[in-house]
Amino acid sequence: MDYAQLARKKAYWSTILLAALLPFFFIPAPWASIAHAKVLLVVVLVVVATLSWITAAFLEGSFRMPKSSLFFAALLVPIAYLISALATGASSVSFVGEGAEQDTVAAVLLWYALFVASVNVLSASSGKRLTTAIRALFAGGVVVLLIQYFRLLFPSFTFGDSLVAQTSSVIGSWHDLGIFLGLLFFFSVALLPTSVAGSRFWKYLLIATSALSLLLIVVVNFRDVWISLIALSAVYAVYLWYAARRTADEIRKPNVRRAITWFILALAFLGFYFGSSAIQGVLPSALQVTQLEVRPSWQGTFSVGSGVFSQPGSVFFGSGPNTFPREWGVYKPLSVNATQFWNVDFYSGVGFIPTALVTVGLLGALAWGAVCLALLMSIRRILRERIEPFGIHFLRSALVAGAAYLTVYHVLYVPGPMLSALTFMLFGAVVAGEMLAGSIRHMTLPQTTEGWRGWIGIAVLIVFAFLVLVTGIQTARAVVSDMFVNRSVTTYATTQDLALASEQTAKALSVLPSNDRAHRAAIEIGLLQLAQLTASGDDSEAVRTELQNTLNTTIQHGLAAVAIESGNYQNWLSLARLYSELAGAGVEGAQEGARAAYEEARKKNPTNPLPLLGLAQMELLAGNEEAAREHLTAAVGIKQDFAAAYFLLSQIDARAGNLEAARGSAEAVVQIAQNDPLGWYNLGTIYYAEGNYENAAAALERAVGLQNDYANALFILSASYANLGLTNDALTALRAVVALNPSETSLEAMVAALEEGENPFIAQ
């Protein structure tokens, strides 16, 4: 048996399967995100393809390495990420993260492994494999179209609750879908004169795909997709017009016609850019889909980058791969706190490559700059070559254009794992096409122990295989562990079964003990279990033992989370919340632990007011109201519309007898949170204490309107009515209080007093 040939076939079919499955592959379960599914698919098939190719190289005694600037420039990306991760602390967040993030050493290494596998697999068989891979990608794209149209027509069918929202997509985000559709449309038209459309079936399939893609682009309707299609069509038209001048007579006219077609398409896309909203407005309601997409702006990204680079050494190495959320918490513009997204931890900046400049520093800038420059060199080679009647030139030009299209989007946007993997696969296809056309040469490295070149070749392949295997295993562990955490959350949300939710969290930690998110989830479950045991009222020895064991276990999860990733403020907040609950129950030393954890959270995320709010609550618990006031004032300085801080300030001032200041803070609360009954009740009680019964009644009426069983608000409302002389209204409100509190016998006497025309409330 030819084991080398068998290994090469495995590498080939793994690559083809990835091209076909990558666009639409997902796991039909609510706890497995699209990103999780895509990353798992990439891990499995890339590891198999890479190891199979390396095995074949060892068995055959040599392997080819293209003399391509893009091949070596792309290698700089994982090297830059690795150096940055080591220089900034070698955190697990930078190496693997939660598995689905892309700004990690593991992610870019897997993308590069996909690039290498694609080059070696697709550069064989005189272009047939390259054609097959593109057809496989088209087949996957057709499946995407079928699924998305089915979802639009039958929105109640959610594929196992994995596609619930109207803007759900098997590609990733709704924006990712639009970007992919733009690429699919371009390929459908640009590849018509190539071997991809070599039969009637494939020609008609490409035409149908282009029409269906265009219609769905109208439905998705992202303006940047229209702009990118305008630019791509216009540039491709110019290229064809330019190339037509340098071709033989028999293909000059077809090229001119193609150039004119692309000019017309560019104009059509320009019309769609200005009129797509009007067009979408006349579509059936099922096709009128909109999505609000939120991410940091260029200004926000620049603000974070400026803060990072102000630190010594960060200019060269950045803050470390995948640390943008941490730096966002430290350096984000405070104006963000005035928006509804003030507490969102953004995992990236305005674009993938700009994010890399912040997290990987100058090394990242040089690496990605080299990739862009190498891609420009590939474009230059295409422009300088003469178009042959029956060559692969049109195929190569479309691939280069598609690769450039996705690369630009990595600058302007943060694509999901599917589009990033496809980008590097297209890089591989570009280099494979250059090798097939003879545009670039290759060198052969022997896999023998004779001579230094042989030893270098063996070492390179062994190290590369080891890194890809270990990276793949660790990434898969992180993804599976994170999915178990998601399963824990969905299990509790649907069944309220704490034991079952805890079991899923335990599975997550058994797969990856260093998953700090799993430890945070375990803390939340532990707090719910403690509350459940306390509320049971069972004082038996068995319950006390269970309570103590649950408490110890929950504390250990909190300590483990901060030990695993001390730079994540969420870990410190979870630990602080745990200690706060224990402090409220009177556990000795819990207040000190909560204060210390809140202080750490504040250091890690100084632009978030929540740690300051927690510190204020701890001071109030200890009776230190002035210290609490200082923390709350600082919190308001960070977030001027922080309703929780104003609420506590109003209570502090009210207890101090400063009713005017208390009223000001209470009024701020209801202006910020107009649908919060507690805020209106608080304002009403302050008005009542001032003797302003009319305004007190108005505020309390609003509180009761928002929550009609609000007994405390009804009681003070009754008192306000009584002091205003509205006896019947006071009786109605007080009788409602009696109905809600039938065991309170003193209320009956107050009702009787009101019925006799007396005011049982003491006016202040």
pLDDT digits (tens, 9 = 90+) for 598-625: 999 999 999 999 999 999 999 999 899 9
Domain boundaries, the chain: 3-288+296-470
Q: Which tops the pLDDT comparison, 254 or 318?
A: 318
pLDDT at residue 453, as a whole number: 66
pLDDT above 50: residue 301? yes
pLDDT in tens, 677-734: 999 999 999 999 898 999 999 999 999 999 988 989 999 998 899 888 888 888 888 8
What is the pairing mode between strands 62-66 and 442-446? antiparallel
How far apart CA 265 and CA 254 sit, in angstroms, is 16
pLDDT in tens, 180-197: 999 999 999 999 988 888
β-bridge mates for residue 65, sequence order: 443
User: Which candidate, 223, 196, 344, places its Cα nearest to that of 280?
Assistant: 223
pLDDT at residue 247, as a whole number: 62
Q: Distances from the Cα of 639 to the Cαs of 276, 504, 572, 613, 651, in angstroms?
A: 38, 37, 20, 11, 19
pLDDT at residue 764, as a whole number: 37
The mean pLDDT of 438-465, rounded to a whole number, is: 77
Q: Which amino acid is at 530?
A: L
The mean pLDDT of 424-430, rounded to a whole number, is: 96
The mean pLDDT of 508-536, rounded to a whole number, is: 92
pLDDT at residue 322, as a whole number: 94
The pTM for the full model equals 0.92
The mean pLDDT of 316-328, rounded to a whole number, is: 93
Q: Which tops the pLDDT comparison, 723 or 422?
A: 422
pLDDT above 60: residue 390? no
pLDDT at residue 177, as a whole number: 96
pLDDT at residue 125, as a whole number: 72
Phi, psi of 11 (to 5 degrees): -65, -40
Q: How would DSSP label each residue in 142-153?
A: HHHHHHHHHHHH
Residue 404: pLDDT band (50, 70, 90) is very high
Map residue 446 onto helix, strand or coil: strand
pLDDT in tens, 244-293: 666 656 567 777 888 899 999 999 999 999 887 788 777 777 777 777 78
pLDDT at residue 388, as a whole number: 62
Instruction: Tell the residue number behind the tokens 């690429």, with chain if given.
Output: 183
The mean pLDDT of 735-750, rounded to a whole number, is: 84
**In the chain, what percentage of residues exceed pLDDT 70?**
96
The mean pLDDT of 458-463, rounded to a whole number, is: 85
Instruction: Tell the residue number behind the tokens 């909203």, with chain if given.
Output: 277
Contact 417, 172 (CB under 8 A): yes
Q: Which amino acid is at 633?
A: T
pLDDT above 70: residue 452? no
Q: What is the mean pLDDT of the chain?
A: 90
Residue 1: pLDDT band (50, 70, 90) is low
Most confident of 19-33, 439-453, 533-547, 750-764: 19-33
Report angle CA 428, 430, 434 to the nearest 5 degrees: 115
Contact 418, 183 (CB under 8 A): no
Query: What tokens appear for 520 in the block?
Result: 């945070």
CA 567 to chain centre: 19
Q: Estimate the crossing angle of helix 569-584 against helix 516-535, to 10 degrees.
A: 10
The mean pLDDT of 590-602, rounded to a whole number, is: 93
pLDDT above 70: residue 642? yes
CA torsion angle 29 34 37 43 (round to 10):
-170
CA torsion angle 743 747 748 749 (round to 10):
140
Query: What tokens appear for 259 in the block?
Result: 């150039």
Q: How would DSSP label each residue in 384-440?
A: HSPPPTTSSHHHHHHHHHHHHHHHHHHHHS---HHHHHHHHHHHHHHHHHHHHHTSS
pLDDT at residue 249, as a whole number: 61
How far apart CA 535 and CA 406 sit, in angstroms, is 56
